[in-house]
Amino acid sequence: MRPWIYEWMRTGSVEKGINFANMNKRTLAGAGGIAVLIAVGVWHFLLGSASFNDHGAVAATIAPESVAASHLTAVDPKPVTLRAKDAPAGSLWVRRSPKDAERRAWRKRLELRYRRLGASQQFIDQMVVGNKVEALKRLKQQALSGNATAIRTYADFTYWNCFAHRTPEQMDSYTEMQMQESRSLPAPDAEWFRDAFAEAVATEKEIAAACHEAVNVDQAFDMMQASAEQGDAENLYLSALTARTQPEQQRMMRAAAIAGSADAQFEIAWLVLGGHQTELLGTGPDALNVGDLLRQSAAQIPQAEGTLAICEFSGCDGIAADSTAAIHTALSAAEHGFFEGLQNIAPHLSPSQLDPTDVEAWNLIHASVNLQCGESWTNVQAMRSTLDALSSPAATDSARKRAEQLWAQYGAALGC
């Protein structure tokens, strides 16, 4: 694998300051290996709002290589200055009010994650505009009654939102730092950023309060564990994240991948590509390989599809280098909401392989999605990168026109 590929695999930051609630009850031993695993999980879950395909699984647009012999289970104007009043809803260049932007971004994150797990639209609606405490209490009761989908959703929401979260003190400290740094932005953008950031923090605190009132973390994890013992792939994955020892964590993660958890499949592939825990692949006839893991998870997780494109370009375990396939897969991943694969292979392609206008058009779409769906207001650096992309000299009239054409085709699914 080429050195720049390795570097990309090893980067991708996890926001610091994660607080693991109830540590006295759920002690995370074997901290070295498990911390790496949890960090990777947090990273790929929090990657903007394009972490997972919207409205359920979306198949990759290239036919995956056959895995019949595998023991993995398959599971089914300056745009930067525009505001909502200047452009129709759904426009590529829209910048909504901070309150509306955060509400839409939060809905998109919920839909991307929990529609895939089978959550009802009622639950998502209530978590966005309704009574969050009542929504979580109702979900908990459904889980306690034995509803498998509710158990899966309740456990997953509990882990990501009620267990692995920042304390109010951590949020306040991070907010203060970002407010100070926001002074470096142009005044109108700084004002919008501060308001959007404040709305996001308010949502996070509201969720934390709802978790405190409605969620019993230990109870949710007990249900998760019982479901995992019955072979539920998604709860096996969560059980791996909360395992007490590294051998236990690795055993459960492998079991989850083999049972069909796209999260576990991508997790293992990502770890191994980054040079961590290669023993997760195993040996002998039951050994896994990165190629199969990425092909399986790519059907549900756009990051996996984008990573598959990078591996196809460079060559990885179980994946032969094929630049044509890599371009096809990278474009498919972009259509599904993950743009980094295309952005990382594009500098190594000739204009005859991929039109630079198309590349810049996707860069503009990426920036617009980040601005619409929350990634741009997670920190000042992200906001500045978005503003730079939207006003870049490379963003020619031709690139903007091409971006609008692509947005007309894919924007309804990509935007917020």
What percent of the chain is modeled with pLDDT above 90?
71
Q: Are strands 164-165 and 19-20 parallel, antiparallel or unpaired?
A: antiparallel
115 falls in which pLDDT band (50, 70, 90)? very high
Q: What is the DSSP string of 8-54?
A: HHH-----S--EETTTTTS---SHHHHHHHHHHHHHHHHSTT-SS-T
94 falls in which pLDDT band (50, 70, 90)? confident
Q: Give me the mean pLDDT over the 312-327 stretch.
A: 95
In this prediction, residue 169 carries a pLDDT of 87
| CA dist 34 → 38, 241, 277 (Å) | 6, 7, 10
Q: Is the pLDDT of residue 288 over 80?
A: yes
301 falls in which pLDDT band (50, 70, 90)? very high
Average pLDDT of the chain is: 82
Q: Give me the mean pLDDT over the 330-338 stretch.
A: 96
All residues at 6 or more sequence positions from 115 whose CB lies less than 8 Å from its CB, including other chains: 54, 55, 56, 121, 124
**Three-class secondary structure of residue 148 per DSSP:** helix
In this prediction, residue 167 carries a pLDDT of 83
Assigned token pair, 64: 């995956």
Q: Give me the mean pLDDT over the 19-32 stretch.
A: 37
90 falls in which pLDDT band (50, 70, 90)? low
Q: How does pLDDT run across 130-150, given as a tens digit for each residue?
A: 999 999 999 999 999 999 999
374 falls in which pLDDT band (50, 70, 90)? confident
Helix or strand holding residue 175 (H, E): helix 168-181
